[in-house]
Amino acid sequence: MATLLALVASVRHLWRLVRIAFVLARHDALFPLELLGVAPGITLVARVIRRPGQGRPGQRLAAALQALGPSFIKLGQALSTRADLMGDQVAADLAGLRDRLPPFPGSVARATIATDLDRPVETLFQTFDDVPVAAASIAQVHFAVTAEGAPVAVKVLRPGIEAAFARDLALFSWMAALVERTVPASRRLKPREAVRTFAETVRLEMDLRFEAAAAAELAESFAGDPGFRVPAVDWARTGRRVLTTERVLGIPISDRAALLAAGHDLHAVMANAAGAFFQQVFRDGFFHGDMHPGNCFVAADGAVVAVDFGIMGRLDLATREFLADMLVGFLDGDYRRVADVHFAAGYVPPSQSRDAFMQACRSIGEPIFGRPLAEISLARLLGQLFAVTEQFEMEAQPQLLLLQKTMLVAEGVGRHLDPTINMWTLARPLVEAWMVEHRGPEARLRRGLDEALAMARRMPALLDAIEALGEAARTGVRLHPESLRARGADRLAQWALALAVVALAAALFALAG
């Protein structure tokens, strides 16, 4: 039965692939299927109806994905972070893919709200605008005023969107498995893992309670920060398919003329944006992953206000330390350091030549840092670094790919605001201060003490267990767990001195390091 079901699913996926190939062919964008070698027979047939397209390949592919619908628009946005898969130019063209779709009726939005929140819309809001202010692939946004008189923005999921995405995600998973099976060289790029990551991102986006939680977490991280704000969540009017937040009043960060007319200092705006971005990445390890200009506004006091928290990135401490070391290494022209941190992190296998990798890093860094300061792009640097992964058998790092896409967008906004200023120059002191705090002698001392304390807490139980095993081996008697716990309590005082000794040794070791 399982084999029959798998066969039926494969036939269904193949038929959908035929339809997709024909859409790609009509837009002269078959090259992804040709590049991956997926179903060459289908691709060959689709070529018959290929029409010569206008624009670059990436632009034609973006148009085709737009025609294929919401799941494929989101897929294109995800692929825009994978220059290693698509190439720099195609990835850049896909980065401009915006999921603007025709809105669904306001009556449907009202029905969704009433069902999800189990209350009539009239009791929740004094007014509710049936015409949305924005309509995207997964949801659309309406302005409203709450029963208490607060102006809010209400995000409502599209009807039937969960089923549509589930069908397409099943197809993407099947295609990724097919590619790994038929194109062994693709396994290094982890297509199945990339689809799993994409599926997880979409799953979170389609439960608006997760987005509300992300907004609340980011707001908490920046509580009291005058340069960056997050709209408050109205939890009483938020559910799985509805998200209500305070309405943002401000000028889109990309509207340079309006910002100048309002008297804003563009240098201060850039400093706020750069500072907030680096605090998210390095201090918190939790960053907004979709910071395109439509999601950023400048308030009357000059603060940057972000919206739309469906795509968020997380970086653990080890990844943040790697990133800080690597970026500072590039900025200082210390390519040996750049190579060392890649090998230390395990991103480059030890079988590869450290000297050759250092040379590759220099070939990336020198042309970039030889340009005027205002033209330096760290996002471009990361993109080129990921592009050399095949030669050195580096595995793709999904969390860094999302970060690179976000950096690329942030750089574009900064360059539009003031082409003479490099936003990374504004943020470098923050990175260096973070490194002193987390990599300096005091940080090593704290970490050494923490490790020593953890080790000391484990030692009594570990040694008691060893002693008990020895006793059991000699006598053939099995000790009850309560006996072991009682013995541990009796010996706790004996370990107080050992704890102090271990902590002192760890502190000396950390200082010596």
Residues catalogued as catalytic: 290
CA 191 – CA 178 distance, rounded (Å)? 10
With beta carbons less than 8 A apart as the criterion, state whether 234 and 245 touch: yes
**513 Cβ contact list (under 8 Å, min separation 6):** 444
Give CA–CA dist 69/434, Å, rounded: 43
Distance CA 423, CA 335 (A): 22
> Rounded to a whole number, what is the distance in angstroms from the first to the last CA of the chain?
61
- Other beta carbons less than 10 A from residue 192's beta carbon: 17
Distance, CA of 463 to CA of 78 (rounded, Å): 50
Task: Tell how far CA 67 is from the center of its chain.
Answer: 25
d(CA 335, CA 337): 5
User: From the DSSP assignment, how many helices (H) and strands (E) are in the chain?
Assistant: 23, 11
Sign of CA dihedral 44, 50, 56, 62: negative
Phi/psi region, residue 445 (left: phi>0; alpha: psi -120 to 50; beta: rest), is: alpha
- The 8 Å CB, 24+ separation contacts for 301-304 are 301/226, 302/227, 302/264, 302/265, 302/268, 302/269, 302/272, 303/226, 303/227, 303/228, 303/229, 303/272, 304/227, 304/228, 304/229, 304/253, 304/269, 304/272, 304/273, 304/276
Strands 242-246 and 312-314: unpaired
SS3 158: coil
| DSSP string across 222-247 | TTT-TTEE-PPB-GGG--SSEEEEEP
CA distances from 247 to 17, 144, 234, 457 (A): 42, 9, 11, 50
CA distance 150 to 216: 18
Residue 400 dihedral angles phi and psi, to the nearest 5°: -80, -30
Burial level of 123, CB count in 10 A (0-12/13-18/19+)? exposed
